[in-house]
Amino acid sequence: MGESTKKIKIGIYGGSGYGGSELLRILLFHPNAEVVFVTGNEHAGKPVSEVHRNLTSLTDLRFVAITDDLNELGDIDVAFFGLPHGQALELVPRLPSGVRAIDLSGDFRIDDPAVFETFYKKKHAGDLQKRFVYGLTETNREAILGAEYIANPGCFATATALGLSPLIAKNLVTGKLIVDAKTGSSGSGARHAANTHHPQRVNSFYAYKPFTHQHVPEIEQHLRSLGKLDEPLVFMTHSLPVSRGIFASCYAELERDTTTDELTGIFREFYRDAFFVRIVDGSPDINWVKNTNFCDISVHVSGRNAVVFSAIDNLVKGAAGQAVQNMNLMFGLEEKTGLVFSGSNP
């Protein structure tokens, strides 16, 4: 930051959903951040704390509407986008020059236009895409440090890619990777819907989007940037009856027989400098990472079969927390500034 008293001026586009809610929860208390405005078209004029009632008495901010000229909303250093897929595609090109951007949607995660259009049914960003860096902080730190624009990873993608990156980067696996991923209901967003209707969701567990989840191409693209991926990822998403949390069980065949201890050591080494990745014994548990920016990982090996378990809070490390982690790097702050939430027991 140069001077510790100078604060990063922040605009949040799309602050009424859960991504926006978490950005506010983090940034309003971040020692080097100042939230200049937060948009929420359907709530324009309302106090932020009327929508995010947890913030009652903690902020006087009100939602504003997005204007045609984005300059009108106030001078900012960085814009966060917490909007539905497709909207950042329209807004980023209209940002005042010099304003950096961190997009929490999928709009800028995929380099290949054909793949993007297949999964997102939108026109690809084209040349603009080249200015975006994929924000999986732990594996992409160097690029993020100098980035102008960040495509923040998806929640499933974060849990999965952090679990698989050491295997691919160290060239340890052969054959097909299979990922069985599970998410809490907040992954469906702040709008109520049939699949988040409490009377049914509370006693349910089911799979959805078999083989076709839109995070698959972003995970594959990222893994291929680290090493060799022999076959397309088999990736299956399921719905958990909890509010927060993602748990990914990743199955791999190793090149050679190894042991749990040996593979654990490789993971510890790989994430040696990653404060927010904790290699744990036994199994991670979404209970221990909820409300935090941590990704807890454990590995187990039997002969040449390995499983990696990876747990995050989908809204923190899987969205707003990682976005702020990336902002910290982009602005020369320590990576964990404003992000050390300890979780709780219970």
Binding mask 40-79 for its own copies (x = CB under 8 A): -----------xxxxxxxx---------------------
Helix (H, G, I), strand (E, B) or coil at 230: coil
Distance from first CA to last CA of the chain, Å, rounded?
Answer: 36
Q: Quick one: how far is CA 313 from the chain centroid?
A: 9
Q: Does 15 bind its own copies (CB under 8 A)?
A: no
Neighbours of 148 (CB within 10 A): 12
Is the peptide bond between 199 and the residue preceding it cis, with omega within 30 degrees of 0?
no
Comparison of 151 and 289: residue with beta carbon closer to its own copies: 289
Among 2, 68, 127, 194, interactor with its own copies by CB under 8 A: 194
Comparison of 56 and 171: residue with beta carbon closer to its own copies: 56
- Give CA–CA dist 102/122, Å, rounded: 19
Known catalytic membership, residue 155: yes
Ramachandran angles phi, psi of 282, nearest 5°: 65, -115
**Per rule CB under 8 A, count of chain residues that contact its own copies:** 82
User: How many Å is the maximal CA-CA distance in the chain?
Assistant: 62
Are residues 38 and 12 in contact, defined by beta-carbon separation less than 8 angstroms?
yes
Among 84, 238, 255, 268, interactor with its own copies by CB under 8 A: 238
- Give CA–CA dist 64/48, Å, rounded: 10
Q: Does 196 bind its own copies (CB under 8 A)?
A: yes
Are residues 91 and 66 in contact, defined by beta-carbon separation less than 8 angstroms?
yes
Among 44, 65, 145, 207, interactor with its own copies by CB under 8 A: 207
Are residues 144 and 153 in contact, defined by beta-carbon separation less than 8 angstroms?
no
Cβ neighbors of 42 (< 8 A, separation 6 or more) are: 16
Radius of gyration of the chain (CA): 20
In 3D space, the residue among 199, 178, 288, 304 whose CA is nearest the CA of residue 241 turns out to be 199
Q: Does 130 bind its own copies (CB under 8 A)?
A: no
Least distance to its own copies, CB of residue 50, Å = 9
Comparison of 7 and 122: residue with beta carbon closer to its own copies: 7
Comparison of 225 and 249: residue with beta carbon closer to its own copies: 249
Binding mask 151-190 for its own copies (x = CB under 8 A): -------------------------x-x-x-x-xxx-x-x
Q: Which stretch binds its own copies (CB under 8 A): 35-43, 82-90, 96-104, 296-304?
A: 296-304
Least distance to its own copies, CB of residue 126, Å = 29
Among 292, 293, 322, 337, interactor with its own copies by CB under 8 A: 292
Q: Does 115 bind its own copies (CB under 8 A)?
A: no
Q: Which stretch binds its own copies (CB under 8 A): 38-46, 76-84, 128-136, 231-239?
A: 231-239
Catalytic (active-site) positions = 155
